[in-house]
A and B are shown apart, each in its own frame.
Chain A
């Protein structure tokens, strides 16, 4: 994009933001010179100006027509409902699965909702493993179940089982005496089709939003690794660690960055694994049904064909790669500005890093060299025993989680109709999510605990503006 076009695009963007946000009041802190590196533009040039229920579903703004078409094809595939084979359209569902389309869990490209009491999870899944490390350092699959519990199956086929979720509420007090409560989930297997070993490890994983992922993928390995400090050599209490995970195409260990424990190295593998594990759709990366070796398996074990064509797999990868990030809201409001300063002084910013510039990718200029504000360092951090899943995943220990990106989080209610946060959706609002932070984040959490109500409200207002 040459400078003149940049200026025009910038003026348009700023004019629109002004019109959208500030009525007739001039926003002094936004200047035309701030250009796409402006903090309102969480996704840099790939920021979408939408605060409605479709905020997570916009394509990058500057895709040429041929690539926009690929995005559209991928969009159609992302929302395609799979049915059992044979069928003229979308065959191949199952035989065991968690849901029937990507969009059924990643509703409106957003965050999954936790089931109500007694309901079966529709937007979350449960990872399983038994102790030990597999051939590539991976979690050891559970005999008879694999590394994921498929809670649904085709008619006349038995599902693997289900999980009952119950909660225990505990009340606590902030330093100023105001109380708050946190609910701790308990997971109980039900309807298991065969014996589950007693040493099974279970990790609940809510469906994560799928926007902005192409930008995260474009951050260089070096930039992510530069933030690691696993032995806390600088003594700041933060010890971010990289997860090194198995890349099935490259056949080696590489840096992981996607997933609640950063166990997936790139979007193609994330998408392929999800197709296979969550919907039962085999593909070039994962050509074997997850049910192979189990009683539910209904295909030919000697078959070398798979259900999803390569081009459609790539189209879905491209779709999630090119979903834009929603613009910030109210970034200059006084309480939001105060909240941002508290976010920094409390130390949240040490892991939820605000600014990072993506690397250059000549094959997709749209993701290149963007100053983005995802509020994550994409590293693993120990968050304490309270929040642990106690299930290691490659180099991630049972108490470690990848810093979750906070961009777009304030739109969760609007887009997905709920405010369930953290890996298992236990937090019913942002403040609960904050108060669950322990381990490396304990000192930051304690600072929040000691804040006045005004300060706490400002902090939340800031996070909601992201």
Chain B
């Protein structure tokens, strides 16, 4: 997702936070807790973030296989498989947006994977042109004066589903399949790049925060970065991805309009928040919750409760997002509100907690 919103909610904290002062329980000098904080960062770096990019890379390869099969044997069943593989890869990517810091941002991977909207006219021009539509062409697209709106998830979505979402295997034209091949190859390459950046150094940068890391001079900076990313995606879903199409009552503004995958995307964004909070992406390990629970059980309960409410509100929307904004406005508004509340508890309670208890 190329848009990013970091909304800073009010910095006026409840009066209780005034109790913060130097002489009280400002930083936790308990050595057990210090080990815990290091373990949490290590687990998050390895088993959440890096693991997610490994998973995404694997799923990109599966998508590529499915597309190759589809092109060799264009049946509707194979199209359905390719579509399913696209959705599966989206699950991982959207979850990983809860930790959208590091290489996917700094190496410009996010804009090359997830820019939207698709530039239809340019896409059609490319398909009608005589350019060889291989991966090299696509990778260079920014230099060839076309932008990221022609690569990544959404052009693939457009080619697999068509503008109205009703594409049949027989509708696939030769130029489209050529472009699709190049696009999936490029997507594989970008996923590998994200994975390699983490395994090749960023994982260590996060793990060694406060202990030699050049990215994170203190553990606290790492924790705050994570909390910011968690709050950031919730704010983006609530305040932009859902709110803007909803307020405009315009389905054309939704993020994954061809596959009608937007609700799944939003839900996975919020799922990702819990994954990094609990340190549980595929394998369950130490997470932020362990740091919170060491000193404030009720905050932990509150975060989980707000999270569950947000997920429930999203799951209650039983139509595709484009339809729901017209026919189920109360449910959409409720989801926007509940996701917003989750953003608030992270920004206004989790962040100050981490500021107080990490160093």
Binding site for B on A (CB under 8 A): 8-9, 11-13, 15-16, 18-20, 22-26, 48-54, 57-59, 61-62, 68, 71-73, 75-76, 79-81, 83-90, 93, 99-101, 103-104, 108, 120, 122, 152-156, 159, 324, 417
Q: Is the interface of A mostly helix, strand, loop or mixed?
A: loop
Contact B118 A79 (CB under 8 A): no
Closest A-B pairs by Cβ, 3 of them: A88-B252, A58-B8, A83-B119
Contact B355 A16 (CB under 8 A): yes
When chains A and B are docked, how far (Å) is the Cα of A135 from the Cα of B244?
Answer: 42
A61: B residues at CB distance < 8 A = 8, 10-12
Contact B228 A76 (CB under 8 A): no
User: Counting CB contacts under 8 A, is B129 at the interface?
Assistant: yes
In the complex, what's the smallest C-beta–C-beta distance from B217 to chain A, in angstroms? Answer: 9
Q: Which of B139-179 contact A (CB under 8 A)?
A: 142-143, 145-149
In the complex, what's the smallest C-beta–C-beta distance from A67 to chain B, in angstroms? Answer: 12
Contact A23 B359 (CB under 8 A): yes
In the complex, what's the smallest C-beta–C-beta distance from B263 to chain A, in angstroms? Answer: 19
Contact B121 A23 (CB under 8 A): no
Contact A62 B10 (CB under 8 A): yes
In the complex, what's the smallest C-beta–C-beta distance from A257 to chain B, in angstroms? Answer: 25
Q: Which of A80, A84, A104, A417 has the most CB of B within 10 A?
A: A84
The verdict on A52 contacting B244 (CB below 8 Å), with A58-B6, A89-B252 known, is no
Contact of B26 among A13, A19, A49, A80 (CB under 8 A): A19
| Contacts A59-B7, A90-B117, A154-B121 supplied; 14 other A-B pairs, CB < 8 Å | A18-B26, A19-B27, A50-B8, A50-B228, A54-B228, A57-B4, A58-B6, A61-B12, A62-B10, A84-B119, A84-B121, A87-B120, A104-B111, A417-B106
Contact A54 B232 (CB under 8 A): yes
Contact of B126 among A58, A73, A86, A155 (CB under 8 A): A155
Please encode chain B, from 87 to 112, with 1 for each CB lying within 8 Å of some chain A CB and 0 for all others: 00000000000000100011000010
Nearest to A5 among chain B residues (CB) is: B12
Please encode chain B, from 192 to 210, with 1 for each CB lying within 8 Å of some chain A CB and 0 for all others: 0000000000000000000
B33: A residues at CB distance < 8 A = none
User: Counting CB contacts under 8 A, is B212 at the interface?
Assistant: no
B221: A residues at CB distance < 8 A = 51-52
When chains A and B are docked, how far (Å) is the Cα of A57 from the Cα of B5?
Answer: 8
Contact B18 A12 (CB under 8 A): yes
B101: A residues at CB distance < 8 A = 52-53
The verdict on A159 contacting B145 (CB below 8 Å), with A23-B26, A53-B105 known, is yes
A159: B residues at CB distance < 8 A = 145
Contact of B225 among A20, A53, A89, A108 (CB under 8 A): A53
Nearest to A101 among chain B residues (CB) is: B2
A-B contact pairs, 10 of them (CB 8 A): A15-B20, A16-B355, A52-B225, A53-B225, A79-B4, A81-B116, A87-B119, A152-B145, A155-B145, A417-B106
Contact B18 A93 (CB under 8 A): no
Contact A16 B20 (CB under 8 A): yes
When chains A and B are docked, how far (Å) is the Cα of A62 from the Cα of B240?
Answer: 20
Contact B12 A49 (CB under 8 A): no
Contact B8 A81 (CB under 8 A): no
In the complex, what's the smallest C-beta–C-beta distance from A376 to chain B, in angstroms? Answer: 24
Contact B244 A76 (CB under 8 A): yes
In the complex, what's the smallest C-beta–C-beta distance from A459 to chain B, in angstroms? Answer: 20
When chains A and B are docked, how far (Å) is the Cα of A62 from the Cα of B12?
Answer: 8
In the complex, what's the smallest C-beta–C-beta distance from A105 to chain B, in angstroms? Answer: 12
When chains A and B are docked, how far (Å) is the Cα of A8 from the Cα of B12?
Answer: 8
Q: Which of B5, B115, B116 has the most CB of A within 10 A?
A: B5
Nearest to B125 among chain A residues (CB) is: A155
Contact A22 B22 (CB under 8 A): yes
Contact B8 A59 (CB under 8 A): yes
Contact B18 A8 (CB under 8 A): yes
In the complex, what's the smallest C-beta–C-beta distance from A28 to chain B, in angstroms? Answer: 11
B147: A residues at CB distance < 8 A = 81, 99-100, 152
User: Counting CB contacts under 8 A, is B224 at the interface?
Assistant: yes
B26: A residues at CB distance < 8 A = 18-19, 23-24
User: Counting CB contacts under 8 A, is B285 at the interface?
Assistant: no
A68: B residues at CB distance < 8 A = 7
Q: Which of A19, A58, A72, A75 has the most CB of B within 10 A?
A: A19
Contact B21 A15 (CB under 8 A): yes
User: Counting CB contacts under 8 A, is B15 at the interface?
Assistant: yes
Contact B228 A25 (CB under 8 A): no
User: Counting CB contacts under 8 A, is B334 at the interface?
Assistant: no
B6: A residues at CB distance < 8 A = 54, 57-58
Contact A87 B12 (CB under 8 A): no
Contact A103 B4 (CB under 8 A): yes
The verdict on A52 contacting B117 (CB below 8 Å), with A104-B111, A324-B8 known, is no
In the complex, what's the smallest C-beta–C-beta distance from A327 to chain B, in angstroms? Answer: 11
The verdict on A88 contacting B117 (CB below 8 Å), with A23-B359, A100-B147 known, is yes
B105: A residues at CB distance < 8 A = 53, 108
When chains A and B are docked, how far (Å) is the Cα of A53 from the Cα of B228?
Answer: 9
User: Counting CB contacts under 8 A, is B17 at the interface?
Assistant: yes
When chains A and B are docked, how far (Å) is the Cα of A44 from the Cα of B118?
Answer: 41
In the complex, what's the smallest C-beta–C-beta distance from B128 to chain A, in angstroms? Answer: 9
In the complex, what's the smallest C-beta–C-beta distance from A15 to chain B, in angstroms? Answer: 4
When chains A and B are docked, how far (Å) is the Cα of A445 from the Cα of B76?
Answer: 71
When chains A and B are docked, how far (Å) is the Cα of A417 from the Cα of B105?
Answer: 10
Please encode chain B, from 232 to 243, with 1 for each CB lying within 8 Å of some chain A CB and 0 for all others: 100000011001
When chains A and B are docked, how far (Å) is the Cα of A58 from the Cα of B10?
Answer: 10
In the complex, what's the smallest C-beta–C-beta distance from A369 to chain B, in angstroms? Answer: 19
Q: Which of B210-264 contact A (CB under 8 A)?
A: 220-221, 224-225, 228, 232, 239-240, 243-244, 252-253
A49: B residues at CB distance < 8 A = 11
A9: B residues at CB distance < 8 A = 11-12
Contact A84 B122 (CB under 8 A): yes
Q: Which of B10-59 contact A (CB under 8 A)?
A: 10-13, 15, 17-18, 20-23, 26-27
Contact B355 A18 (CB under 8 A): no
Nearest to A49 among chain B residues (CB) is: B11
A87: B residues at CB distance < 8 A = 117, 119-121
A8: B residues at CB distance < 8 A = 12, 15, 18
When chains A and B are docked, how far (Å) is the Cα of A90 from the Cα of B3?
Answer: 13
Contact B22 A52 (CB under 8 A): no
When chains A and B are docked, how far (Å) is the Cα of A26 from the Cα of B117?
Answer: 51
In the complex, what's the smallest C-beta–C-beta distance from B111 to chain A, in angstroms? Answer: 7
A93: B residues at CB distance < 8 A = 119
Q: Which of A11, A76, A120 has the most CB of B within 10 A?
A: A76
The verdict on A83 contacting B120 (CB below 8 Å), with A53-B105, A122-B142, A153-B145 known, is yes
Q: Which of B22, B221, B352 has the most CB of A within 10 A?
A: B22
